[in-house]
Amino acid sequence: MCSSFLRRVAVASAILIAGSVQARELRVCADPNNLPFSNEAGEGFENKLVSLIAEELGAKVSYTWWAQRRGFLRNTLKAEICDLVPGLPARLEGVRTTAPYYRSSYVFVTRSDGPAIGSLDDPILRQVKIGVHLIGDDGSNTPPSHALSRRGIVENVRGFMIYGDYSDPNPPARILEALAKREIDVAIVWGPLGGYFAEHESVSLKVAPVHPTFDGPQLPMVFDISMAVRKEDETLRQEVEAALARRRAEVNAILAAYHVPRLDSGLKGAGSSP
């Protein structure tokens, strides 16, 4: 299967070189219901970035929609029903990732009239009502939820399942609705989610990166995000990486339009981040 796939990529590349832009298909797997990342209507920033890459590759995008839950990679990329996943942590095991195209951080989101919180060690975190996302698999949760319990901050913390109710739009966004509705005072969420919904909630919200950026040696608040292909698809990986680099300015503009909090100052070159 792999070899026939590679052959097809090779053929596709040859056609591209020959100038035909019709034949190539860029098969992408993404979540149909998870803004700001992606949705079936193509409204997420990952959708926009995929379109950019397709333009660069002279390819037509075809999506396979799959909720990004347990088994997502196994059932999509690894099952070869698509060839590209537009957002995964850099150097994720089991896949091959491009150089990162953004670096973001977990963020504190509070109402504009609420406290300004920048640090996990801020004493106010022992008083206010905090919302965090829960993963639930293997007893693992988001880094901020572990960081809070490590500090003994437990009683005033409310967990929101990252999975939510999938029949609702963008299930992970419930935590920010709860913030807007004053059910919690601060939400600690992954940056792109916080940045985007801070602009879209009915009340004014403010966003600040979580410090310290590493809570102990094993709990990073900061992640580099890349696009991913199957391990053996080095050719496609290089093409996507090159496309992201060539369209760097537009990539940055798209991320800015979605208010993605950046900890890189707009990556200077592919692979430049540590």
Please tell me whether residue 257 adopts helix, strand or coil conformation: helix
Determine if 133 is a binding residue for another protein (CB under 8 A): yes
| From candidates 12, 24, 29, 37, binder to another protein by CB under 8 A | 37
Determine if 217 is a binding residue for another protein (CB under 8 A): yes
Nearer Cβ to another protein, position 59 or 132? 132
| From candidates 29, 162, 188, 198, binder to another protein by CB under 8 A | 162
**Least distance in Å: CB of 7 to another protein?**
22
Q: DSSP readout, 174-231?
A: HHHHHHHTTS-SEEEEEHHHHHHHHHHSSS-EEEEE-BSSBSSTT-BSEEEEEEEE-T
User: Nearest Cα to 47, choosing from 58, 34, 38, 35?
Assistant: 38
**Least distance in Å: CB of 249 to another protein?**
24
User: CB-hemisphere CA count at 13 Å for 180?
Assistant: 15
**Least distance in Å: CB of 268 to another protein?**
22
Number of residues that bind another protein (CB under 8 A): 62
| From candidates 58, 114, 143, 209, binder to another protein by CB under 8 A | 143
Nearer Cβ to another protein, position 14 or 94? 94
**Least distance in Å: CB of 235 to another protein?**
21
Nearer Cβ to another protein, position 118 or 136? 136
Specify burial of residue 110 (Cβ count, 10 A radius: 0-12, 13-18, 19+). Answer: buried
Q: Is the peptide bond before 212 cis (omega within 30 degrees of 0)?
A: yes
CB 184 within 8 A of CB 92: no
Please tell me whether residue 12 adopts helix, strand or coil conformation: helix
Handedness of CA 225, 132, 94, 80 (dihedral sign): negative
Nearer Cβ to another protein, position 54 or 193? 193
Determine if 145 is a binding residue for another protein (CB under 8 A): yes
Binding site for another protein (CB under 8 A): 31, 34, 37, 66-72, 74-75, 78, 87-89, 91-94, 133-143, 145-146, 148-150, 154-159, 161-163, 165-168, 171-172, 189-190, 192-193, 216-220, 223, 225
